[in-house]
Structure 1
Amino acid sequence: MAARSDATGASSSPLHWVGVSSRITLINLGYENRLEAADVSPEGNDLVTRLGTPQYLEIGPANHFTFLAVCKPQAAGMLAEEGEDPICTDPDGADRKDIHDRLVVAVANALGL
């Protein structure tokens, strides 16, 4: 899919989805402070509405990076010291293993497994 150049943060247009006949499941991680381009909710790029009636799930507490592997205990501090993206810093109450387990169930359900 080609990225859109407007300020909506949307990464696709309705033309990308013409002819798609399978069920679509969209998942947002977290409930606030989402990355604009990755937020498919009506408050974000609104892909969930533009696609019509996809299944839509919010899993949290989490952020965009929570889908990545569980970090080693000292990783968040090391990344902060190096000025890197906060890929190991999750919101209060987040448990990456639990989020991963919930993502697996959501994807399996979406695929009918």
Structure 2
Amino acid sequence: MDWELTNFEHLRIDFSAIRIPRKDAEHLLSELAGKPKKRAGRPSGPSNPWEKEQVAAALRMIDRGDTRSVTAIALVLTDSALTGSKLQSQQRRLAWGIKRALDAEAKNSVQNKRD
């Protein structure tokens, strides 16, 4: 409750709130403010033929017995002309593609199949 200071009339003030997830609240606020929606970024993993070929080359290296970590192999296979954040981004995409291919290969291995 609150009082009007000039003539001392009683004012009633009510507050209410609802609890919603933060992401939903941000979407609602941006929609009410008229802000454009954000677009999805670049998809995970290799996105062009050259990067897909690099992932295939990495899998061949692993098949031949390369025991380095996936990130080390991805670093070797990145484009040498790139620097900074573009280099790191490409390295992450290649590493993601290699891990994904290895996981798919492990799921489809002969050991996992039933007779």
Q: State which structure, 1 or 2, has the greater radius of gyration over its C-alpha atoms.
A: 2
Give the number of the structure whose residues are more often helix, by fraction. 2
- Normalising by the smaller structure, the TM-score range is under 0.3
TM-score (norm 1): 0.24
TM-score (norm 2): 0.24
